[in-house]
Structure 1
Amino acid sequence: MISKVKQWLKARLDPVSQEQTSKVDLATAVLCMEVIRADNQLDDTELDLLCQLLQKEFDLPPSQAKLLLTESRAKAEQAADLVSFTRLLNEQCSAEQKCRMLENLWRLALVDGRLDVHEEHIIRRIADLLYIPHSQFIQTKLKAQS
């Protein structure tokens, strides 16, 4: 009987966990897409890097990473603000995970060889909304530049 209860609980809890994970994946991808879109130039190198980062960070096969990329692009175009995405990340992610995401945002902004002021501005806004201290903001920028 106990094993049946455990199976029932696992069946009920796993979909929630997977749903939360996919929401975190999407929120992260949308924030990345916002950085890419900030300079009004969607570059293939930026999109390729984003796809690679999604595969690496969320252990996704290439096909799922491309779907997530497409979905995040649509969500970013419809998004009115960044708060709904950063709120979810603040609830679900550790400080270390948020700093790693910030470093990836810097990598996306720098992959085309130049840092646009709009890209830097949106990364600063995201860092503030994720409650990342300014010292970490600078450290992740320097790490991404090296």
Structure 2
Amino acid sequence: MLRTILAMFQGEASEPLHPHHVEIAAAALLYEVIKADDDIDQRELEALSDMLQNTFSLTAKETEMVLASGSARSEDAVDLVQFTQVLNQSLDASAKHKVIQGLWHVAYADKTLAPLEEHVIRKIADLLYIPHSQYIQAKLAAQSVG
């Protein structure tokens, strides 16, 4: 029992990781951006689904499962660190940059960028150790597409 409690405080999982834990963490972050302005638009949800499928090469069934789990975890979240920590441990710099690009595309999917959406993306970029220049490049690329 003491080992289980110590493992919890040391961040060791006593249960096995979900096979799509990275994708679920990314989905939760994407949901955080969508929820930031309290206006969930269908175009944002479609962009979220597309981003997950394209970035992680998921099947339609896997995407549906990741979206459901990511949404639920986002609703229960008290911070972003629990998700960014998974990405930092599992992804290289290039893959994390793709996640930031996806966050921007989702934010611009409804053709408007709310200040709170930008704020959430900035926080996520900082937690993923994304250089400011890459953060800005991703934002400009998403603006030109949107």
Query: Higher Cα Rg: structure 1 or 2?
Result: 1
Segments of 5+ residues of structure 2 without an aligned counterpart are 1-15
Matched with 1:110 is 108
Q: Which position in structure 1 is the counterpart of 2:75?
A: 77
Paired position in structure 2 for 1:13: none
**Contact persistence 1:51–1:62 (CA under 8 A):** no
- Give the TM-score normalised by structure 1: 0.84
Q: 1:41 to 1:30 in 2, by over 3 A?
A: same
Which residue matches 2:64? 66
How many pairs align? Answer: 129
Q: Deviations over 1:49-92 (max 9, x none)?
A: 11111111111111221221111111101000000111111111
Asked if structure 2 preserves the Cα contact closer than 8 Å seen for 1:98 and 1:130, the reply is yes
Question: Which structure dedicates a bigger proportion of its chain to helix?
Answer: 1
Aligned pair partner of 1:87 in 85, 102, 119: 85
Identity %: 45
Q: 1:34, 1:54 → 2: CA distance?
A: 15
Q: Compute the TM-score of the two structures, normalised by the length of structure 2.
A: 0.84
Where in structure 1 are there 5+ consecutive unaligned residues? 1-15
Cα RMSD for the two superposed structures: 1.3
Q: Secondary structure at the match of 2:20?
A: helix
Q: Which runs of 4+ in 1 moved over 3 A?
A: none
Q: 2:37 aligns with which of 14, 36, 39?
A: 39
